Amino acid sequence: MDAREENGFAVIRSEPRKVILLSSYGTGAQNGKNLGSPGYSHDIVMQLYAPLLKSWGDVISIADPWNNLESAIVDARERGLDPIHLSVIPCQDAYLSVNAPNVLMPAWEFPDIPDHDFGLNPQNDWTKVASKCDALIVSGPFTSNAFRKSGVKVPIHHVQVPTPESYFELKPWRNDQTRSIKCTGYSFQHDEKEADKIPLPIAAPHRKPKSGLKKVGRKVEKAIRDRVRATVNDELYRKISNRFKKSKKINILPARFEVDQLDLSGVVYTSIFNPNDGRKNWQDLITSFLVALGERDDATLVVKLVTRDSVAVAKFLRFYRGRDIDQRCRVIVTSEYLTDQQLVDLTEASTYYIQTTKAEGNCLPLMNFLAAGRPGISPCHSAISDYFDDEIGFVADSNPEPAAWPHDPHLRTRSTWGRLVWTSMVDQIRKSYQIAKDSPETYNEISQRSRERLRSWASPDCVQGRLIEALDDVYESRSHADPVHENVRPAEVKRPTRKAA
């Protein structure tokens, strides 16, 4: 409220109400749509930040900011709002407003950021895009160091992606607990002497259709769905839709290996990832676990695949079965969409979170499990190193290996990621199993430290203070901003296909 005297009269002017225009890919991730699609994880991040942003100002979500942001800014100002643009879209696809302050929130998993144009997209030069922003919000030192090393000088704030409070509230794991989760999947457990070997899954030839044909196919399917929806009631439409989905599903394995409920007990290791993401290195996960605990009939590996691609699921199962490693341990694989509560339930049923990833910009599943007091078995590199170490889990060794930026169409070697030391992973899995089985006091100590570490790192209360401070800094500095800039990407350049997050 601003009070002053004009012409002998007291005039009171109210400050414009603050509003955040939050731009995203708009994949529908919060409703389980487009599971594992490009941009999916970025929209999950947006969903986690949104409640905290509302404590600072109004929040308006903007899908497709290239076409909708500027008009939304005009509309906001006409309604007496003072907007800031906050983007959770990576630099190569982000739109920078010409009429409002811009804050980018890049999640980055490599020690070097792209510093030159490539792929016919000038915005692939992250240094130029970042330098035109009013501020960056990143999860921690690893990412900010990558930007600073490349010469980016704009303010950088460390604000972690908040871990939902529901994970901190979970009870400690007990070695005698049994949990059930209503969820479909495949379950494998058999003795090495079992004569009835599980056949290899069938993966149909998968040829990616040309983009034009794919668009036509989607339009035809949508037209059919719209016509059917208009002529039948909702219940019948759902039945027809489910039958259609089943008809498109590849027959992967015999029905006897399918389960409609996950019954979990013993020492449970869980991993959550998109099998199409080359960073996840899931082949080492499978082989190291089977070698480390294949003979332990009370050990279970739960693999939650973040995809609706039945071919990707078949390829994963084919690799697993193709190793032909005799096992008494249990392996469960599911690609079903899990609600937020089901993910919490899966965490509660687990003893550890396990991964063999080569690079991570955040790794939200690991953060969730640590917050729940479920230690991790993981390499410690990239952004994981900001919060994970051997005090709160079991660290597998890794070494830098030449790598390409994932959105470079030529996949040229421009950076590094972490190459797992496979034997170290096997050793850490065995060590974690022994502690869970024979040293409950040690396990509980690690569990308690992991909760405390994540509460100070990423609990909603801690994150909220950092977020408000960062936004206040941008808001107070907006009157001193540089003149209006132009977007890096020329209008005539076609926007590239998004890469998976």
Q: Torsion-angle region of residue 281: left (phi > 0), alpha (psi -120 to 50) or beta?
A: left
Contact assessment for residue 419 and residue 358, using Cβ atoms and an 8 Å cutoff: yes
- pLDDT higher than 90, residue 233: no
| DSSP symbol at 129 | H
> 319-328 burial string, b = 16+ CB within 10 Å, else e?
bbbeeeeebb
Chain segment 349-381, per-residue pLDDT in tens: 999 999 999 999 999 999 999 999 999 999 999
Between these two residues, 220 and 362, which has the higher pLDDT value?
A: 362
418 contacts 399 by C-beta, under 8 angstroms? yes
Cα angle 304, 401, 358; round to 5: 15
- 430 CA to centre of own chain: 28
Whether 150 shows a pLDDT value over 90: the answer reads yes
End-to-end CA distance of the chain: 43
Nearest partner of 307 among 296, 299, 317, 321, judged by Cα: 317
What are the domain boundaries of the chain? 2-162+462-480, 166-200+256-457, 205-249
- Report the pLDDT averaged over residues 227-238: 74
Distance CA 473, CA 471 (A): 5
* Distance, CA of 354 to CA of 302 (rounded, Å): 10
**Mean pLDDT across 128-133:** 96
**Confidence tier at 212 by pLDDT (50, 70, 90):** low
Helix residue ranges per DSSP H, 63-210: 65-78, 126-131, 141-149, 165-168
Question: Contact 282/356 with Cβ under 8 angstroms?
Answer: yes
Fold (topology level) of 2-162+462-480: Rossmann fold (3.40.50)
CA 136-38-251 angle, 5° bins: 155
Asked whether residue 346 carries a pLDDT value surpassing 80, the answer given is yes
| 403 or 249, which is more confident | 403
What is the Cα–Cα distance from 467 to 187, expressed in whole angstroms? 43
User: Which one is predicted more confidently, 33 or 323?
Assistant: 323
Nearest to 348 by CA among 186, 163, 161, 166: 166
Q: What is the DSSP letter of 20?
A: E
* 47-77: pLDDT as tens digits: 999 999 999 999 999 988 999 999 999 999 9
pLDDT in tens, 165-204: 999 999 999 999 999 999 999 999 875 444 445 566 665 5
Q: What is the pLDDT of residue 323?
A: 86
Band of residue 37 on the pLDDT scale cut at 50, 70, 90: low
3-class secondary-structure state, position 359? coil
Contacts of 169 (CB under 8 A, 6+ apart): none
Q: What is the pLDDT of residue 484?
A: 45
Rounded CA gap, 170 and 207, in Å? 44
State the helix-helix crossing angle for 234-248 and 211-231, rounded to 10 degrees. 150
Residue 67's SS3 state is helix
Give percent above pLDDT 70 in the chain: 81
Q: What are phi and psi of 313, to 5 degrees?
A: -65, -45
Q: How many alpha carbons lie under 13 Å from residue 79 in its C-beta half-sphere?
A: 13
CA–CA distances in Å: residue 467 to residues 52, 157, 209, 278, 363: 8, 8, 43, 31, 19
Strand 330-334 versus strand 178-188 pairing type: antiparallel
Six token digits for residue 279? 């960073």
Q: Is the pLDDT at 13 greater than 70, yes or no? A: no
413-426 pLDDT, tens per residue?
A: 999 999 999 999 99
DSSP label of 209: P
Q: Per-residue pLDDT for 481 more than 50?
A: no
- β-strand partners of 371: none
Asked if domains 2-162+462-480 and 166-200+256-457 share a fold, the reply is: yes
Dihedral, 303, 305, 311, 314 alpha carbons, nearest 10: 10
Q: What's the DSSP call for residue 478? A: G
**Is a pLDDT exceeding 50 seen at residue 336?**
yes
Give whichever of 63-77, 245-259, 282-296, 301-315 has the largest mean pLDDT: 282-296
pLDDT at 497 over 70: no
Q: What is the pLDDT of residues 434-462, one digit of tens each?
A: 999 999 999 999 999 999 999 999 999 99
Give the confidence band of 290 by pLDDT, cuts at 50, 70, 90.
Answer: very high
> What was the pLDDT predicted at 77?
94
Q: 166-200+256-457 maps to which CATH number? A: 3.40.50.2000
Which of 25-39, 114-128, 393-407, 430-444 shows the lowest per-residue confidence on average (mean pLDDT)? Answer: 25-39
pTM reported for the whole predicted model: 0.84
pLDDT given for residue 326 in this prediction: 84
Alpha carbon distance 364, 383 (integer Å): 11
- Residue bearing tokens 């941009």: 39
